[in-house]
Amino acid sequence: MNTGSPVTSGSDGSSPTPWPDIEQIPTGIRARLAAKIAHRLFHRAVRALALRVEYPDGTVLGRDPNDQNAPRMILHRPEDFALRLGAGGLIGFGESYMAGDWSAPDPAATLTVFASSIETLVPAPLRALRHLYVARHPAAERNCEANTRDNIARHYDLSNELFELFLDETLTYSSALFPSTTPPPRWDDLAAAQRAKIERILDHAAVGPGTRLLEIGTGWGELALRAAERGAVVRSVTLSVEQRDAALRRIAAAGLSDRVTIDLLDYRRVQGEFDAVVSVEMIEAVGYEYLDTFFRTIDRVLAPEGRAVLQAITMPHHRMLATRRTYTWVHKYIFPGGFLPSTQLLAEVAVRSTGLVMRERLSMGEHYAHTLRLWRQRFDSHTTQITQLGFDPIFRRMWRLYLAHSEAGFRCGYLDVQQLRFERRGESADGSAEQLPQRRFQCGRTESVP
């Protein structure tokens, strides 16, 4: 069974279960006590939310229980839900969805309500004690060179066929850039919007005939293809065996193998000099501890007049500071070792560790919300094919929640995605290195940083 989950052997020597924390409900006195506390906190929170939380006995909770248009959360097994929530917090909340303790006709809408109130869901006294009860990242998932390939493989090497079922023809697994988000984009708009995103990155990296381009994070090769078609000489590095194989096939089919090299290589090991460096939504896999290393690598290989363009998922700086050590459901089941930076953090790391400075950025979080909506709809429409690939019902619920959870984050503004251009910084009139001013950027707008 291709579940994408770690397999744990049974303590009695029985066959291993791929989902030990889903198939076993927390038990014991501590679990029951924690469940009671979780039950009270959950009731307190949802009574203030624009939701309909529906119980098997007909009870409905929410700010206005009679609002038939509010997003629905249907509790099928309230006791099991409370036990998982009490034992695991937000990880338990996600695991209870995987187990089928609750469901939602539109999980993205339901999760958007929760995400919009993230600052107030937990009472302030308990938020102050966050460090005492939240889980910590396992040492085995730190993004040192010894661990990173395994972290990447757990997500990106699941199955090329799985990704092909819900991605568009470009096989681009990152935010698209639509001409407009009004009216909401349709599936037929997605491939063109993905290409527009890539072309903008290449434009801002000044990629053209003869450009020596380094791409950190290959994906399935669409950006490398587009750059090679412009006449660039491309070196792309990845840690995903599955993605590399598929990308090499696509590049060979396009007759561009003489212009593109794809290496199975950690970014830290790259040597040479490049006129441009690009990386699309790979920095989220770098980890908080290694951001300086990532930027120093770019600085080391970038030619004196070169440019670096990153597309990065970001979160507000204060939320990043509060959660950067927290181990979440997404870490446990989707992106081990992942970390979402703030734009402020990326600018500060570049200034303190390199000769680079952020020159321009484009905020496009709303575009990612629509990209994810289209992926989720496509994923849901291919249940039979996903099952035939060997993915079980728990995996399918897990990935539906992951896509909906991500969409909700961008819908409410808790998450953003930005294209960031870095160049060598000059010197001011007094000979000191120039500094990057802090500004707020509105969604969908591009602003230059002087």
CB 172 within 8 A of CB 222: yes
Cα 17 versus chain centre, distance: 27
Q: Give me 227's structure tokens.
A: 């750059």
CB contact at 8 A, 369 and 179: no
Closest residue by Cα to residue 127 from 87, 79, 83, 90: 90
pLDDT at 87 over 80: yes
Nearest alpha-carbon partner for 167 in 411, 379, 365, 416: 379
pLDDT in tens, 301-329: 999 999 999 999 999 999 999 888 889 99
Confidence tier at 433 by pLDDT (50, 70, 90): very low
Is residue 35 within 8 Å of residue 86, measured between CB atoms? Answer: yes
3 state DSSP class of 353: helix
Q: What is the pLDDT of residues 205-252, one digit of tens each?
A: 999 999 999 999 999 999 999 999 999 999 999 999 999 999 999 999
Q: Say whether pLDDT at 17 is over 90.
A: no
Burial class from Cβ neighbours inside 10 Å (0-12, 13-18, 19+) for residue 414 reads middle
| CB-CB contact of 56 with 75 (8 Å) | yes
Is pLDDT at 437 greater than 80 in this prediction? no
Q: Where are the domains of the chain?
A: 20-133, 145-448
Percent of the chain with pLDDT over 70: 87
Mean pLDDT confidence for 253-272 = 98
Amino acid letter at 406? S
CATH architecture of 145-448: 3-Layer(aba) Sandwich (3.40)
Element (H, E) at 45: helix 29-46
Distance CA 144, CA 11 (A): 31
Calpha distance 208→231 (Å, rounded): 6
Cα–Cα dist 192/212, whole Å: 26
Q: 134-150: per-residue pLDDT in tens?
A: 677 888 888 999 889 89
Retrieve residue 326's tokens: 């927290």
Query: Which of the four pLDDT bands, split at 50, 70 and 90, describes residue 299?
Result: very high
Enumerate residues 6+ apart whose C-beta is below 8 A from 55.
61, 75, 78
pLDDT at 325: 87
pLDDT in tens, 343-378: 999 999 999 999 999 999 999 999 999 999 999 999
Residues counted in the chain: 450
Q: ∠89-394-118 over CA atoms, to 5°? A: 30
Whole-angstrom distance, CA of residue 2 vs CA of residue 55: 33
Q: HSE (CB half, 13 Å, CA atoms) of 129? A: 6
Structure confidence at residue 10 as a pLDDT band (50, 70, 90): very low
With residue 43 as reference, give the H or E element that holds it. Answer: helix 29-46
Q: Give me the amino acid identity at 213.
A: L
CB within 8 Å of 305: residues ≥ 6 apart = 275, 424
- On whether the CB atoms of residues 269 and 246 are closer than 8 A, the answer is no
Asked if residue 110 lies in contact with residue 104, where contact means CB atoms within 8 angstroms, the answer is yes
Strand order in the sheet with 302-314: 260-264, 233-238, 212-216, 274-280, 302-314, 416-424, 356-363, 446-448
311 contacts 280 by C-beta, under 8 angstroms: yes
- Token pair belonging to 18: 């791929």
pLDDT band at 432 (very low <50, low <70, confident <90, very high): very low
Q: What's the CA dihedral at 215, 217, 218, 223 to 10 degrees?
A: -50
- Dig out the tokens for 401 from the structure: 């929640």
Angstrom distance (rounded) from CA 105 to CA 74: 9
Residue 241 tokens, joined: 């065996």
The 10s digit of each residue's pLDDT in 231-244 is: 999 999 999 999 99
Q: 339: which residues sit within 8 A by CB, 6+ positions away?
A: 284, 286, 287, 288, 324
